[in-house]
């Protein structure tokens, strides 16, 4: 084997990996240079996560070679990777919430640090080196997402990492926190550490990365310096076709008041009152944790809340549990598709009929031919890509899984459809399809409450936007006439 | 992907059938007495009580929970029913006994719901506690004494029929079993409430958000389990004609063993009463064969425990 150029920290050559029925990676080759920020973009299912898991040792590659820092790596485990100097920071952090910052950084290595005093002293030094002022004795559970991320970065540094992989690091950060993250990344780069930055958000890639690799369907489509690509090029490479419109034309169907919500008060929400019009798409904008999800869960009866009032068509209604909401034609598309939306081990059909099954019964018996008909209808209507209605929903892509949950609610002809992060983790093409479905719902007389952390989609789809900050409604805007900056300022408070 | 036949998957899914066949062949080769009419009747009888308890347990496990209290329910139902035959008459005793089982199951579900215990682990400990309570009540009620049906003066014709009667070549208890199996299969696969139980076991959060009545599912699974345990208790004491206050001991583990070995996953959501029948058959045959082959009772416990572990191990290796 030829001697690797020492300017390359990680060389991946012809790596393939198959899962039953899917070729997740197909002859992937990428070189990561020392001291640069290398972006990896691609839709969900493009193979980014699989590649990272092979590097960290969670998965084993089928074929190909991986050379890290001049050393060919055949089999590895997460801890061996760390010791070699390769750290991965996952979207959901790997920290122990009930232990202190210092303990987390040197977890399992207290002896090397000569006990707790040494641990905290060393942790302090490392935190200072990235300009972070968190007290090393604070419990990690009390930290914000941004602070946890810094602890993760510090932990990576404590292993003398030469390469740090960050998987969607910005997903729970505010814009100020993101700026600070970028400063830290620039500083790491100056010290010669390489960063692999995986993100959906193209703005960040353009701002931060030196080189970008685009992946699609398990292949590397292109690797280029960022300056040589335009945003449109990148999207075209990601989806394999050019996308003319990211959003359908904004529906304008808003009519009379359909639902009024009066004074929801909990320990997290303060005097939440608003109204929803018939045929309207109402966007709720706020930071993660501002209370957006809590508001809709209170309306649906998913959380026990007392003392508030919900009126539909002027008449007060009682919603104590989600089943009551369903009877009134209110459906909730929950924010976490896998944990709250789907029964992953069940078939596509079972998942689609879940909410409407009680309407298909006679004397308590289910009409199974109707059931099949409903599943087929929604699969066709929503273009759900699945081998059959009996396929486990687990094996579908994120976008198709989400369509199953949407189809479930469309089947009850919802008066009000509440969508919490409807496009989270699904690819650009499927996003557009979800937007079109939303448009159909309001055109058929339904109303939608939409929660999203992606400001552009709320602003492009909603007729009206409410901003939520720390459990309060802080503003109401017409997204067609007010700038995104004004709305964001109101959401940050 | 087209569905290909895979030997590995076939074996994982139908291992219990393969095991039954192998077990029968080996036993016949070593001990031809296995096929004698006497032994086959014996198997059918042993099959009885456990099969009823396991059918009920299947629903609890499909619903994502577990029930250790069946041991206590069987003991209490058995002693109460036998003690009521003389004062109230056999029909009344039978009805009260079976209703008591269903009520105790219902009570379990109420305790779980009011405690907000919606995980399998919490159910494990709560029903463990409930079992201790029911068993102790059985002991207090009888003062620790075994109830003998031969001491009773009232008419026991129903219990005689359940215990030893036959219709053609089939025992009465086996017929009751077939009817229960059919009814429960239809309930699970064809009714809304049966399907709701599967959804509850598959993902409680998603089920509740989709308007599936998960509390009703919890009540149903435990009530059915209590009811089936009570029927099992009646079949049991009718056959042996005595009811000791500890008669139900060991049925909870054997029932869970049968359900899991049959292939209903402990993860909840998926499973079938038909699979459980195979599980009960395997466990019953295994006991029978080991007795015929002279395996020591202690060794039998070792084997049963190992089989449970292997069954769970295999379940986690099934292709999703």
Q: Is the pLDDT of residue B149 over 70?
A: yes
Nearest Cβ partner of B192 from A302, A327, A357? A357
- For the segment B202-212, the average pLDDT, to the nearest whole number, is 95
B195 close contact with A: CB closer than 8 A: yes
C-alpha separations of A238 from A42, A245, A252, B144 in Å: 5, 15, 31, 75
Q: Which residues of A touch B209 (CB under 8 A)?
A: 300, 302, 322, 332, 334, 340-341
Mutate one of B4, B206, B267, B316 to test the A interface: name it (highest A CB count within 10 A).
B206
What is residue B3's DSSP assignment? P
A326 close contact with B: CB closer than 8 A: yes
Q: Is the pLDDT of residue B135 over 90?
A: yes
pLDDT at position A47 is 83
Shortest distance between the Cα of B143 and any Cα of chain A, in A, equals: 45
Q: Give residue-wise pLDDT tens across range A180-205.
A: 889 889 988 998 999 999 887 788 89
- The CATH superfamily label for domain A8-239 reads P-loop containing nucleotide triphosphate hydrolases (3.40.50.300)
Q: Give residue-wise pLDDT tens across range A330-363.
A: 999 999 898 999 999 999 999 999 999 988 888 8
Q: Which helix (H) or strand (E) holds B204?
A: helix B204-209
pLDDT at position B118 is 87
Residue A126 in contact with residue A105, Cβ under 8 Å? yes
Contact B210/A300, CB-based, under 8 Å? Answer: no
Residue in chain B closest to A409 (alpha carbons) equals: B210
Domain A257-492, CATH? 3.40.50.300
Residue in chain B closest to A300 (alpha carbons) equals: B209
At B80, the pLDDT band (50, 70, 90 cuts) reads very high
- For the segment B275-292, the average pLDDT, to the nearest whole number, is 89
- For the segment A65-92, the average pLDDT, to the nearest whole number, is 87
Mutate one of A19, A303, A319, A354 to test the B interface: name it (highest B CB count within 10 A).
A354
Shortest distance between the Cα of B184 and any Cα of chain A, in A, equals: 13
B153 close contact with A: CB closer than 8 A: no
**Tokens representing residue B165 in the block:** 């009667």
Nearest to A367 by CA among A378, A377, A353: A353
pLDDT at position B207 is 96
A151 close contact with B: CB closer than 8 A: no
The C-alpha torsion from A361 through A363 and A367 to A371, rounded to 10°, is: 20
Q: Which helix (H) or strand (E) holds A156?
A: helix A145-158
Shortest distance between the Cα of A347 and any Cα of chain B, in A, equals: 11
Contact A354/B213, CB-based, under 8 Å? Answer: no
For B203, phi and psi rounded to 5 degrees?
Answer: -165, 100
- Burial classification of residue A353, based on how many CB atoms lie within 10 Å of its CB (0-12 exposed, 13-18 middle, 19 or more buried): buried
pLDDT at position A18 is 82
Contact A357/B208, CB-based, under 8 Å? Answer: no
The C-alpha torsion from B109 through B212 and B228 to A346, rounded to 10°, is: -120
Residue in chain A closest to B200 (alpha carbons) equals: A343
Nearest Cβ partner of B192 from A322, A334, A366? A366
Residue in chain A closest to B213 (alpha carbons) equals: A323
Name the pairing type of β-strands A315-317 and A309-312. Answer: antiparallel
Residue in chain B closest to A321 (alpha carbons) equals: B211
Q: Which helix (H) or strand (E) holds A210?
A: none
CA–CA separation, A202 and A153 (whole Å): 22
Return the residue matching tokens 């059931």. A371
Residues 261-300 of B with CB under 8 A from A: 267, 269-270
Higher pLDDT residue, A395 or B87? B87
Question: Within a 10 A sphere around the Cβ of B54, how many other Cβ atoms?
Answer: 31
CA–CA separation, A105 and A247 (whole Å): 43
**Region for B89 from its dihedrals, namely left if φ exceeds 0, alpha if ψ lies in -120 to 50, beta otherwise:** left
Long-range contacts of A68-73 (CB under 8 A, 24+ apart): A68/A9, A68/A10, A68/A11, A68/A163, A69/A9, A69/A10, A69/A162, A70/A4, A70/A6, A72/A1
Please state the domain extents for chain A.
8-239, 257-492
Contact B202/A339, CB-based, under 8 Å? Answer: no
Tell me the DSSP string of A400-456. HHHHHHHHHHHTT--SEEEEESTTTT--HHHHHHHHHHHHHHHHTT-EEEEE-S-HH
What is residue A164's DSSP assignment? E
Please state the domain extents for chain B.
49-285
Nearest Cβ partner of B199 from A302, A326, A354? A354
For A45, phi and psi rounded to 5 degrees?
Answer: 85, 5
- For the segment B163-173, the average pLDDT, to the nearest whole number, is 85
Residues 20-49 of A with CB under 8 A from B: 20-22
Q: Is the pLDDT of residue B154 over 90?
A: no
Q: Give residue-wise pLDDT tens across range A107-154.
A: 888 878 778 888 899 899 888 888 888 898 999 988 887 888 889 888
B191 close contact with A: CB closer than 8 A: yes
- The count of C-alpha atoms lying within 13 angstroms of the C-alpha of A358, restricted to the half-sphere facing its C-beta, is 14
Q: Is the pLDDT of residue A1 over 60?
A: no
Tell me the DSSP string of B210-229. TT--HHHHHHHHHHHHHHHH
pLDDT at position B320 is 43
Counts for chain A of helices (H) and strands (E), in that order: 16, 22
Contact B320/A394, CB-based, under 8 Å? Answer: yes
What does pLDDT average to over chain A?
Answer: 88
Residue in chain A closest to B188 (alpha carbons) equals: A365
Q: Which of A33-37, A80-84, B44-48, B85-89 has the lowest mean pLDDT?
A: B44-48
pTM (2 d.p.)? 0.78
- For the segment A373-394, the average pLDDT, to the nearest whole number, is 91
Q: Which of A211-225, A298-312, A418-432, A470-484 has the lowest mean pLDDT?
A: A418-432
pLDDT at position A244 is 64
Residue A465 in contact with residue A477, Cβ under 8 Å? yes
C-alpha separations of B58 from B72, B106, B129, B206, B320 in Å: 18, 16, 20, 22, 21
Q: Which residues of B touch A300 (CB under 8 A)?
A: 209
**Tokens representing residue A38 in the block:** 């290398």
A320 close contact with B: CB closer than 8 A: no
**Tokens representing residue A164 in the block:** 């740090």
């Amino acid at each position: 084997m030829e001697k690797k150029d020492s300017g390359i920290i990680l060389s991946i050559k012809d790596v393939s990996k198959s899962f039953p029925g899917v070729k997740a990676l197909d002859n992937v080759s990428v070189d990561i240079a020392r001291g640069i920020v290398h972006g990896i973009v691609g839709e969900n299912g493009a193979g980014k996560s699989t590649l990272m898991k092979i590097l960290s040792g969670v998965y084993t590659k089928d074929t190909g070679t991986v050379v890290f820092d001049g050393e060919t790596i055949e089999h590895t485990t997460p801890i061996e990777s760390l010791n070699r100097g390769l750290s991965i920071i996952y979207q959901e952090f790997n920290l122990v919430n009930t232990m202190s910052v210092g303990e987390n950084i040197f977890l399992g290595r207290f002896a090397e640090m000569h006990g707790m005093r040494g641990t905290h002293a060393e942790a302090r030094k490392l935190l200072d080196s990235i300009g972070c002022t968190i007290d090393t004795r604070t419990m990690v559970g009390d930290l914000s997402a941004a602070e946890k991320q810094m602890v993760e970065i510090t932990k990576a540094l404590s292993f003398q990492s030469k390469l740090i992989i960050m998987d969607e690091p910005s997903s729970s950060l505010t814009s100020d926190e993101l700026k600070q993250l970028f400063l830290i990344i620039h500083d790491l780069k100056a010290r010669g550490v390489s960063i692999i930055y995986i993100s959906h958000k193209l703005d960040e890639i353009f701002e931060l990365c030196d080189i970008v690799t685009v992946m699609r369907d398990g292949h590397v489509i292109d690797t280029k310096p960022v300056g040589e690509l335009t945003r449109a090029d990148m999207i075209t490479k990601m989806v394999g076709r050019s996308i003319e419109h990211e959003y359908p034309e904004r529906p304008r169907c808003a009519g009379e008041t359909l639902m009024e919500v009066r004074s929801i008060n909990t320990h997290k929400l303060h005097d939440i009152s608003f109204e929803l019009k018939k045929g309207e798409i109402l966007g709720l904008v706020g930071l993660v944790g501002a209370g957006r999800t809590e508001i809709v869960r209170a309306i649906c009866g998913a959380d026990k809340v007392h003392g508030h009032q919900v009126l539909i068509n002027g008449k007060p209604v009682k919603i104590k549990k989600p089943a009551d909401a369903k009877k009134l034609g209110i459906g909730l598309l929950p924010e976490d598709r896998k944990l709250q939306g789907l029964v992953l081990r069940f078939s596509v059909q079972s998942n689609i009929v879940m909410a409407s099954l009680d309407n298909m019964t006679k004397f308590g018996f289910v009409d199974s031919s109707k059931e099949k008909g409903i599943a087929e209808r929604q699969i066709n209507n929503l273009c759900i890509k699945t081998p059959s209605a009996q396929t486990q929903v687990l094996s579908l892509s994120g976008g198709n899984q989400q369509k199953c949950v949407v189809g479930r609610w469309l089947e009850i002809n919802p008066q009000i459809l509440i969508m919490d992060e409807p496009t989270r983790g699904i690819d650009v093409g499927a996003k557009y399809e979800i937007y079109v479905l939303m448009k159909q719902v309001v055109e058929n007389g339904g109303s939608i409450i939409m929660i999203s952390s992606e400001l552009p989609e709320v602003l492009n789809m909603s007729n009206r936007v409410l901003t939520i900050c720390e459990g309060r409604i802080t503003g109401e805007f017409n997204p067609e006439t007010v700038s995104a900056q004004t709305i964001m300022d109101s959401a940050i408070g | 992907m087209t569905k290909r036949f895979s030997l590995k998957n076939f074996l994982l899914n139908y291992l219990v059938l393969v095991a039954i066949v192998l077990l029968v062949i080996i036993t016949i080769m070593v001990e031809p007495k296995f096929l004698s009419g006497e032994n086959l009747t014996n198997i059918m009888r042993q099959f009885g009580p456990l099969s009823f308890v396991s059918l009920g347990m299947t629903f609890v496990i499909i619903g994502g929970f577990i029930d250790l209290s069946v041991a206590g329910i069987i003991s209490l139902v058995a002693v109460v029913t036998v003690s009521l035959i003389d004062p109230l008459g056999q029909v009344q005793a039978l009805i009260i006994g079976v209703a008591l089982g269903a009520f105790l199951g219902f009570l379990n579900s109420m305790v779980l719901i009011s405690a907000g215990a919606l995980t399998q682990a919490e159910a494990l400990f709560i029903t463990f506690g409930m079992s201790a309570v029911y068993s102790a009540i059985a002991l207090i009620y009888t003062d620790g004494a075994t109830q003998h049906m031969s001491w009773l003066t009232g008419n026991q014709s129903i219990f005689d029929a359940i215990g030893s009667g036959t219709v053609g070549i089939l025992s009465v208890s086996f017929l009751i079993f077939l009817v229960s199996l059919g009814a429960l299969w239809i309930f699970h696969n064809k009714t809304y409430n049966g399907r709701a139980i599967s959804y509850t076991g598959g993902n409680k959060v998603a089920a509740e958000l989709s308007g599936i009545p998960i509390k009703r599912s919890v009540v149903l699974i435990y009530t059915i389990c209590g009811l089936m345990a009570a029927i099992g208790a009646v079949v049991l004491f009718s056959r042996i004609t005595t009811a000791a206050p500890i008669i139900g001991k060991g049925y909870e583990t054997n029932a869970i063993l049968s359900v899991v070995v049959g292939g209903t996953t402990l993860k909840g959501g998926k499973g079938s009463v038909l699979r459980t029948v195979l599980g009960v058959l395997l466990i019953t045959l295994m006991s029978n064969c080991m007795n015929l082959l002279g395996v020591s009772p202690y060794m039998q416990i070792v084997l049963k425990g190992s089989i449970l572990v292997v069954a769970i191990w295999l379940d986690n290796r099934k292709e999703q």
